[in-house]
Structure 1
Amino acid sequence: MLRARRIASIVVVAALGLGGLTACRSEPSVAAYIGDRKVTEDQVTQIFNGAEAGASATPAAEEQPAAEPTKVPGPAVSRQQVVDLEVTLGLGRQVASEQGVQPVNAVTADQVAGELGVPATSQYAVDYTEWVNLSQGIFAKMGTSVPPVTDEQLQGIYQALVKVQAIEAGFDLAQIKQAFGGGEFVSAAYQLTGMLEKAASASKTTVNPRYLPLSAPMVVSSQGGAVFYDLPYLVGSDTVSDRA
């Protein structure tokens, strides 16, 4: 588990947001609309099945104590996470195009697949890799020109890390500030979120209510390695400008 002194070095490579919008268009066979593009339930199934194909693979045999019970691995990803990724990636492509940003080669599909426990050739690993590299490209263009971080933003990132047990629970605001240093990465994440929300509004992005709230895939790196988690950014209000 990450300690406070180690969190100051983390770098956000995905988006965080709190806005949302509901679907005016509605077809049971469609998970989401991103402009004219549809993410169908069949596509979600294909991506989900492709990711799960390697989830039950048995790792290299290692000697275990006789008393240690065998643990059955859970799903590598969920259908919700597939929709989260596909919508966020679609919006991220729009943002990158508008900003004239090219993806950077921050990570490879093999690296992402190894961290997530999915096959490197799966569409999920390929799309997740593209999203991370797009995000890094957008962050690189931002540089240090980000607004001051707010207490609410610091607490939002902190709670998300607590949820996946990446940092200890129970920190007060002063401890969070100490752990996160200047908090520039938090502010940058929210700035990217604003760009995603703007792209969602411009493209009339809508999401099947069964997948709301929709979350953005997040990953931070620290001395302890990569930490993956999800945070809601489309929560179901009528416009993306509404804040929860």
Structure 2
Amino acid sequence: MLRARRIASIVVVAALGLGGLAACRSEPSVAAYLGDRKVTEDQVTQIFDGAQAAASATPAAEEQQQPGTEPTKSPGPAVSRQQVVDLEVSLDLGRKVAAEQGVQPMNAVTADQVAAELGVPATTQYVKDYTEWVNLSQGIFAKMGSNVPAVTEDQLRGVYDALVKVEAIEAGFDLAQIKQAFGNGEFVAAAYQLTGMLEKAASASDTTVNPRYLPLSAPMVVSSQQGAVFYDLPYLDGSDAVSDRA
């Protein structure tokens, strides 16, 4: 009987220990756990507020309009909290992928170029991190070269839908029109290969994301005749939840 009680005590202690570990990875104040590092809601707020304040410091369009003309509507938020978390988690995972692949970031873009495209000043943390992410992801793409799987119809539709969401392409295309617009679709296949690497790195590093930011997306950029187009490609879903929305 004594032995049974002792074993029961050990089981209870083990259960309490596991509960404590679970609790420490489900703090509402944490946006994401990146292995043994946290991205807190306060950090997200700091990056978000910095980008918003800097963007709003630019003279408003209505202040520059000609007398007698209709006021120009102010643009919406330059950056969302979701985009901040998408970027910070993807950048951390991208660094892990690059280290594993032996990839060096490319000098594909400067902070000034990214700032001009995003409408957020180059001095903000958001633009600095976005610039690093673009150069890092471009280095990974370069390492891939043409060694990417054939693009699938689901992948074509996935990127097409993402581009429609940011109003970079017309809605209502059928598959034939999507294929015509995307050519051989190599950039689509490469984008999905990258998100697959990020997902694998997330699993290997025990990265978990607060469900209020799920699904998590990787920031992507593709060139068009009108310039750079930014879109988001989801790669982590609710299976990586760490806490509820409360």
Q: Which has the larger radius of gyration?
A: 2
Is 1:104 matched up with 2:84?
A: no
Q: Deviations over 1:171-205 (max 9, x none)?
A: 11111111111111111111111111110000010
Aligned positions, number: 217
Mark the CA change 1:186 to 1:24 in structure 2 (over 3 Å): closer, same or farther: farther
Cα drift, residue 65 of structure 1? 6.7
Instruction: State whether residues 195 and 218 of structure 2, in contact with CA within 8 Å, keep that contact through their aligned partners in structure 1.
Output: no
Q: Which amino acid aligns with 1:66?
A: G
Cα drift, residue 73 of structure 1? 2.8
Mark the CA change 1:150 to 1:41 in structure 2 (over 3 Å): closer, same or farther: same
Instruction: State whether residues 65 and 71 of structure 2, in contact with CA within 8 Å, keep that contact through their aligned partners in structure 1.
Output: no
Q: Deviations over 1:86-140 (max 9, x none)?
A: 0000000000000000000000111111111112111000000000000000000
Q: Which runs of 5+ in 2 are unaligned?
A: 1-22, 242-246
Instruction: State whether residues 216 and 233 of structure 1, in contact with CA within 8 Å, keep that contact through their aligned partners in structure 2.
Output: yes
Q: Give the aligned partner of residue 45 of structure 2.
A: 45
Cα drift, residue 67 of structure 1? 3.6
For residues 212-223 of structure 1, the aligned pairs below 5 Å read 212-223=214-225
Q: Following the alignment from structure 1 to structure 2, what is the Cα–Cα distance between the partners of residues 130 and 215? A: 17
Normalising to structure 1: TM-score of the pair? Answer: 0.84
Q: Give the aligned partner of residue 9 of structure 2.
A: none
Q: Following the alignment from structure 1 to structure 2, what is the Cα–Cα distance between the partners of residues 70 and 103? A: 40
Cα drift, residue 62 of structure 1? 4.3
Q: Which amino acid aligns with 1:37?
A: R
Cα drift, residue 75 of structure 1? 1.4
Q: Which amino acid aligns with 2:216?
A: L
Instruction: State whether residues 60 and 74 of structure 2, in contact with CA within 8 Å, keep that contact through their aligned partners in structure 1.
Output: no
Cα drift, residue 231 of structure 1? 2.5
SS at match of 1:77: coil
Is 1:58 matched up with 2:59?
A: yes
Is 1:86 matched up with 2:88?
A: yes
Q: Following the alignment from structure 1 to structure 2, what is the Cα–Cα distance between the partners of residues 171 and 104? A: 34
Higher fraction of helix: 2
Is 1:193 matched up with 2:195?
A: yes
Q: Following the alignment from structure 1 to structure 2, what is the Cα–Cα distance between the partners of residues 74 and 171? A: 27
Q: Deviations over 1:15-37 (max 9, x none)?
A: xxxxxxxx982112111001111
Q: Give the aligned partner of residue 122 of structure 2.
A: 120
Q: Which runs of 5+ in 1 are unaligned?
A: 1-22, 240-244
For residues 128-139 of structure 1, the aligned pairs below 5 Å read 128-139=130-141
Instruction: State whether residues 89 and 131 of structure 1, in contact with CA within 8 Å, keep that contact through their aligned partners in structure 2.
Output: yes
SS at match of 1:55: helix
Structure possessing the higher relative contact order (Cα contacts under 8 Å, 6 or more residues apart): 1
Q: Pick from 168, 189, 197: which aligns with 1:166?
A: 168
Instruction: State whether residues 211 and 240 of structure 2, in contact with CA within 8 Å, keep that contact through their aligned partners in structure 1.
Output: no
Normalising to structure 2: TM-score of the pair? Answer: 0.83
Q: Following the alignment from structure 1 to structure 2, what is the Cα–Cα distance between the partners of residues 231 and 190? A: 8
Q: Give the aligned partner of residue 155 of structure 2.
A: 153
Q: Deviations over 1:190-229 (max 9, x none)?
A: 1111111110000010011111111211211111011112
Cα drift, residue 63 of structure 1? 4.2
Q: Which amino acid aligns with 1:42?
A: D
Q: Following the alignment from structure 1 to structure 2, what is the Cα–Cα distance between the partners of residues 64 and 166? A: 29
Q: CA RMSD in A?
A: 1.8
Q: Following the alignment from structure 1 to structure 2, what is the Cα–Cα distance between the partners of residues 115 and 84? A: 18
Cα drift, residue 39 of structure 1? 0.4
